[in-house]
Amino acid sequence: MQWGRIAVFASGQGSNFAALIQAQQAGKLGGGSIELLVSDKPEAPVAQRAEDAGIPALLLRPKDFGSRELYEAAIVAELQRRDIGLVVLAGYMRLITPVLLEPYAGRIINIHPSLLPAFAGKDAIGQALDYGVKLTGVTVHFVDGGMDTGPVIAQRSVEVISGDTAESLAERIHKVEYGLYPEVVAAMAAGRVELNGRITTVSSL
The pLDDT of residue 1 is 40
- CA 182 to CA 176: how far, in whole Å? 11
CATH class assigned to 2-202:
alpha beta
Length of the chain: 205
Global pTM value: 0.95
Domain spans in the chain, listed from the N-terminal domain onward:
2-202
- CA 166 to CA 123: how far, in whole Å? 9
17: left (phi over 0), alpha (psi -120 to 50) or beta: alpha
The pLDDT of residue 19 is 97
- CA 182 to CA 117: how far, in whole Å? 22
The pLDDT of residue 2 is 53
The pLDDT of residue 30 is 83
- Which residues lie closer than 8 Å to 22 by C-beta, 6 or more apart? 182
Nearest CA-CA partner of 75 in 43, 100, 92: 100
Among 32, 112, 113, 189, the one annotated catalytic: 112
Per residue of the chain (205 residues), give pLDDT as tens: 457 899 999 999 999 999 999 999 999 998 899 999 999 999 999 999 999 999 999 999 999 999 999 999 999 999 999 999 999 999 998 989 999 999 999 999 999 999 999 999 999 999 999 999 999 999 999 999 999 999 999 999 999 999 999 999 999 999 999 999 999 999 999 989 999 999 999 987 7
pLDDT in tens, 125-172: 999 999 999 999 999 999 999 999 999 999 999 999 999 999 999 999
- CA 78 to CA 74: how far, in whole Å? 7
Let me know: does 137 contact 176? Beta carbons within 8 Å.
Answer: yes
* Alpha carbon distances (Å) from 140 to 7, 64, 137, 146, 181: 16, 31, 10, 15, 7
Which strand ranges, in their side-by-side order, compose the sheet holding 108-112? 57-59, 33-39, 2-9, 84-89, 108-112, 135-142, 152-159
Active site residue 141: no
